[in-house]
Structure 1
Amino acid sequence: MAPTKVRGTKRAIAGDSESKKKLKLNKKQAAPAESDDVSSSEDVSSSEDELDSDSDDSLDQSSDSDDELDDNEDGSSKQEDDFVPLDAADEEGEEGENVDPNKKSSAEQHAEQKKLLQERKLQRKSGAEVQHIKSLWERLRVKSPKPPKDLREKLCEEIWKYSKDVIRDLVLKHDASRVVQTLIKYTTKERRDAIALALKSHYYELATSSYGKYLLVKMLHYGSKDTRDLIIDELHGKLRKLMRHREGAYVVEDLFVLYSTAEQKKQMIREFWGAEYAVFKDSGKGKSIQEVCEEAVEKRNLIAKNLAGTITASVEKGSTGFQTLHAAMKEYVQIINEEEAHEFIELLHEQFAELIHTPEGCEVACTLIARANAKERKQIVRALREHGLNLIKNEYGNLVVITLFLTVDDTVMVYKAFEPDFSEHISELVVDKYARRPFLYLLTGLDGRYFSPAVKKELQRYIDLSQTTSKKPLDHRRTELLEKFAPLFYKVIEENTADVLQENMGSQFVGEVFLNNAPTTDSQRDSAIAQLIDAFKGDLDDEDNLIFKPFSVRLLKSLIQCGKWDAKNKKLIKLDIHGLGEQFATQFYSEVIGEDLIKWVENKDTSFVVVSLYENLDAKSDVHKELLKNTKQVKKAATDDNKGAQLLLKLISS
């Protein structure tokens, strides 16, 4: 008698077997897709429609199989009523499973799918040419190892041979467009011009294409002046529409910033004035926007409306940072009335930080700050607060900070908004070419040594615009801000003296802090002076000594003299400042020079410091006594290359 097998119910066995079938089927269906994702180097994105149909077929097959597996042998629903031992279930599953001998493996399915995809690509328009061109492109674009020049030219010639008749079919597809981009990069000028002519009348389509825009930018970059002119002329009249387009805005930006002449830029901006200027290139040529608007009120209103519409649409689409848009805004702020100005501030106040990196954007921001009321300025300061460090270090952004200092009456708000960032990085800011300028304004006003005539003129314009919106006197605002920021200035001198004095700009800043008597307590000023003097201590044989910096000698001379040079009257104006002048000279001599006085005279770099000490100290001072006692050594040091010792000898002898 055969041994009895241990089995569960038929229902339980069927349910377990069907679960295994489903798991295997899912694995088979997943395998081709997973493999395709890893191994395929073809243009998947360009064949999405084709793959969709295959995917639908697979899903249908899966659905049919699932329907067949939903019911067990006796037609009842799947349910495990009894416990089934694992080994017994596996045995039953193997016995009951019907394997289709004609069913293809996942690898075979994938190969068939890939073959079908290739066949469909070849059936498309210019399909065979595209596939051959792409094979050549793979060789052309290799960077390591770089193909020889003659091979690269041969490949370019062959690609052009196959693509010149189908160029318009290539440029709007993402992979084929890259082929043409590479061709433009490596081919000859004549062939680039031929490509530009072949694509003539299609530049707008390229500018608005997700892939074509990159080709158009490449044509601008590598193309000749004639090619650029051809593109600009064809896009004329469409710039306002492109500026509102997600893809086209980038093309207009590159065209304006990188590839247009000054005259072409003016022409491009005039197009934003309205339809008349978009259709007729020479309309308004040679005239500023103010001159055109003065011709008729209706014309001003129409131009303002057109500019406002384009700007608003572009801002809402996230193009606020574009320099092209900043240039249009610059035109707009020159003609807006008070009501339009407030509406414009409301549109932009949260995005002011995106204006500061271009000269046009900076001018727009400063103009709006000057024309804003107290409430609007508060909104603007809040929007800029998080960008304080980038703002002050920017070539144009620092002028925005100065304009805030010039115009905003609420100095407490301005200080609290920017002090945290400025305080944390003050040692970097005072030696930065641009970041130090707002601080120098607080110390010196608009001094010509730090502000060019053009910058002073521009800042004065903002001061004039703010006459009706600001209440406090200009000097009063500057004094209030200086009182708040001065402790930071002395702090950086106390804590980072050596680092700051390593730079010419830092040395200048330190001199301005002391000579302009930035407000602080006598104890803090004395502490800063003591740290400055300590920074110059050291052996003169040490080449790294700060005294050998040429700007260090100028700083010491100015602090010893305690005066400012009046260039107009050509004389030194003496100042009465605690800790400077004779007091500083005596302290510096006793703590730094001392017994090394003759060494300082003999050194051509330091001898002028001794001259300054001799000129500004009393005749009964130790310096005078020592120099008179060592006149022979001074005479010996007065060589042709030591001008300071020569001058000192004349002073002693007189």
Structure 2
Amino acid sequence: MAPTIKNKKVGKRSLQNGKSINGRPAKKARISVDSSDEEDHISDNASSSESSDVSSEDDLDDLDNIVSSDSEDRGAEEDEDDGDEEEDADEDEDGSDVHVENEEDDSKGNEENSSNHHDEQRKLLKERKMQRKSGIQVQHIKSLWEKLRVKNPLVPKNVREKLSNEIWELSKDCISDLVLKHDASRVVQSLVKYSSKERREQIVAALNGKFYALATSAYGKYLLVKLLHYGSRSSRQAILNELHGSLRKLMRHREGAYVVEDLYVLYASHVQKQQLIREFWGSEYAVFRDTHDGLTVEQVCDTSIEKRNIIARNLLGTITASVEKGSAGFQILHAAMRELVKIANGKEISEMIELLNEQFAELVHTPEGADVACTLMAKATAKDRKLLIKSLKPHVETLLKNEYGNIVFITSLLCVDDTVLMFKSFGPSVKDNLHELITDKYARRPWLYILLGLDGKYFSPLVMKDINRYIKMSEETSKKPALQRRYELLNKFAPMFLRCINKHCSEILSENLGCQFISEVLINDELYEQLSEQETDLFKQVLDTIITTFKGDISEEDHPIQRPFSTRLLKGLIQGGKWNNKEKKIETLQKVEGLGADFAARFYDDIVDSSNLLEWITNPNSSFTVVAIYEKLNEQDKGNQFLRDLKKILPEIDASNEDNKGAKLLLKLVN
């Protein structure tokens, strides 16, 4: 039995306590229902689990290992013997041909004996397979399945139905014997995939009472997921009903945890999800599930302190065991964590942080997990927050680009008083890729918060509602006023924003979201106020870089003026303020220098001038820029050269083009 022991050691090394060989948590894996993964092979995740948790189904599987192992060992021994004999022949001074011939004869004899031994082993193995329960039927079923699963060329539908019917007739009386075998289980998976709805219902009925065994089987779990994937609503409910009461036990099982995760994420309805989560509260809520239907964990805990303590203890026990098994990335576990943090006291929050601080980044990819992460960050002490920030630091780019992870980062900005720690932890990590982050749908939001606060332009009411809830939670542990904390962050991050824009200006201007971000950075009194004298020089340098970007032939397709969002940015810089939609007017900046009339005059002198002013007016994409220059310079009584040049070319302006509304408006304003 040496091969079996050897395989077990490999399994422990591959996936011990849900961790990889290097000790890091194993990535979350979902059981695939794709036929190529489940019918032709067993996935890599299953392989490591099978070798560690599942012993051979019977002596025949051991015999397979023994045969292959003996073959390898004998082959190695024969090679060594041959090598020794060759060396002896080389050392023989007489070079006796007779001696060599004798050695060759002996070698051939050993090979023949070994081959005969292997043939006898294979014959014995085949005979035993045929003698075991349903052996002849299984062999016949497998031969039909080999025809059914052919993909190239694809089996015609009528042939496939015929083969499926034959397999079902042979297997319906012994299906419970097939589903836990590694090869026969794949036969039933194919049957589920290619059968009719009625046939699938029959298979579910035939396996009734076996679902827990399937969930905990290294091979059977794939069939169970197949039944969930292709089964009807009633089939899923039947499976759920049978597994009910065992979910906490399954979550601690290496194979069963994946089945529960798929059931929760992919196949359960909202009502069924609530039923699954209530089971984690404790035995009372698993047995009397109808009694507590519709109740939230807060409502139950409000009725009794004793009940609260029992529920918290049960949740914490299940969560701890699952995390230690390497299931920290599972969404159903995140849902259980969310139930706990809703009712947790300070001590339990600290226990959760201690348990999760190394796997904290694994929470942020699900809505439930992100809610847990934000709650822990909001309720944590200053010391505990340092642990959480340290855990997030290596994953900051992935965190920011995640739909839910960016809310976790924003919550950190809102709650952590140590702004120096926040900048040192995340500033260097994002500096090189900031130009990519500010043009990402989700990754830009934390930086917009630093610039503008929780502006409704960029944060939806639902997001604002959640963030305000976390702010309220943090009131006991966060001491600084929110505005002071944001200004401190702005002071540290503003120079990084300016350097990024200056270095990647053309690339950022080519994106709509990038132009929005540049606008919020430059047309911002709060940011300008935080800049030092040296940094204001950098601000002016950024303005110069933007002006330079608009040089060139405006008729070319890749010119920035051809993009509407670039034109909007340019208009905002010329106007020197932001449009107030409520009051329907421009709110002019009071502190920023270099925008408004000054920017308009510089832009005309450096980019437009008298040589191409007419071209800018007659181009529909650039005419409104000239309108903005005229309005600003005329308002400030500046730009006498621009006004003189404009009067010279007024007769040449063609207002007949219906698409060029900017030229028409300019003529109207001038006249």
* TM-score normalised by the chain length of structure 1: 0.85
Cα distance in 2 for residues equivalent to 1:603 and 1:312 = 66
Q: Secondary structure at the match of 1:637?
A: coil
Find out whether 1:640 has 2:658 as its counterpart: yes
Q: Which amino acid aligns with 1:646?
A: K
CA contact (8 A) 1:601 1:637 kept: no
Change (3 A) 1:92 1:536: closer
Change (3 A) 1:131 1:489: same
CA contact (8 A) 1:276 1:283 kept: no
Which of residues 491, 502, 506 is equivalent to 1:494? 502
* 2:17 aligned partner: none
* 2:589 aligned partner: 575
Matches for 1:434-583 after TM superposition, within 5 Å: 434-517=442-525, 518=527, 519-520=530-531, 521-576=535-590, 577-583=592-598
* 1:606 aligned partner: 622
Cα distance in 2 for residues equivalent to 1:608 and 1:57 = 85
Q: Which amino acid aligns with 1:545?
A: H
CA contact (8 A) 2:341 2:372 kept: yes
Q: Which runs of 5+ in 2 are unaligned?
A: 1-39, 43-54, 79-87
Cα distance in 2 for residues equivalent to 1:286 and 1:516 = 49
Find out whether 1:162 has 2:199 as its counterpart: no
* 1:386 aligned partner: 394
Change (3 A) 1:221 1:558: same
CA contact (8 A) 1:320 1:354 kept: yes
Q: Secondary structure at the match of 1:440?
A: helix
Cα distance in 1 for residues equivalent to 2:577 and 2:110 = 102
1:61 offset after TM fit, Å? Answer: 11
Cα distance in 2 for residues equivalent to 1:48 and 1:54 = 10
Question: Which range moves more in the overlay, 212-221 or 586-595?
Answer: 586-595
* 1:50 aligned partner: 63
Find out whether 1:588 has 2:566 as its counterpart: no
Matches for 1:169-208 after TM superposition, within 5 Å: 169-208=177-216
CA contact (8 A) 1:243 1:314 kept: yes
* 1:627 aligned partner: 646
Change (3 A) 1:382 1:569: same
Change (3 A) 1:86 1:528: farther
Coordinate RMSD, CA, aligned? 2.8
* 1:226 aligned partner: 234
Q: Which amino acid aligns with 1:114?
A: R
1:335-366 deviation per Cα after TM superposition (whole angstroms, max 9, x unaligned): 11111111111111111011010011011011
1:60 offset after TM fit, Å? Answer: 13
Work out which structure has the larger RCO, using CA pairs closer than 8 Å and 6 or more positions apart in sequence: 2
Change (3 A) 1:620 1:447: closer
Q: Rg bigger for which structure?
A: 1
* 2:633 aligned partner: 617
Q: Which amino acid aligns with 2:363?
A: L
Q: Which amino acid aligns with 1:639?
A: N
Change (3 A) 1:500 1:52: closer
Cα distance in 1 for residues equivalent to 2:543 and 2:316 = 55
CA contact (8 A) 1:537 1:592 kept: yes
Q: Which amino acid aligns with 1:602?
A: T
Q: Percent identity?
A: 54
Q: Which amino acid aligns with 1:547?
A: I
* 1:291 aligned partner: 299
Q: Which amino acid aligns with 2:177?
A: D
1:440 offset after TM fit, Å? Answer: 0.6
Change (3 A) 1:215 1:59: closer
Change (3 A) 1:579 1:206: same
Cα distance in 2 for residues equivalent to 1:152 and 1:348 = 50
Q: Secondary structure at the match of 2:358?
A: helix
Q: Which amino acid aligns with 1:404?
A: S
Q: Which amino acid aligns with 2:598?
A: Q
Cα distance in 1 for residues equivalent to 2:573 and 2:536 = 16
1:93 offset after TM fit, Å? Answer: 8.9
Question: Which range moves more in the overlay, 474-483 or 205-214?
Answer: 474-483
Cα distance in 1 for residues equivalent to 2:322 and 2:104 = 68
Cα distance in 2 for residues equivalent to 1:367 and 1:112 = 66
1:272 offset after TM fit, Å? Answer: 0.9
The number of equivalent residue pairs is: 594
* 1:317 aligned partner: 325
Q: Secondary structure at the match of 1:281?
A: coil
* 2:13 aligned partner: none
Which of residues 246, 250, 258 is equivalent to 2:254? 246
Cα distance in 1 for residues equivalent to 2:466 and 2:104 = 91
* 1:404 aligned partner: 412
Cα distance in 2 for residues equivalent to 1:624 and 1:103 = 103
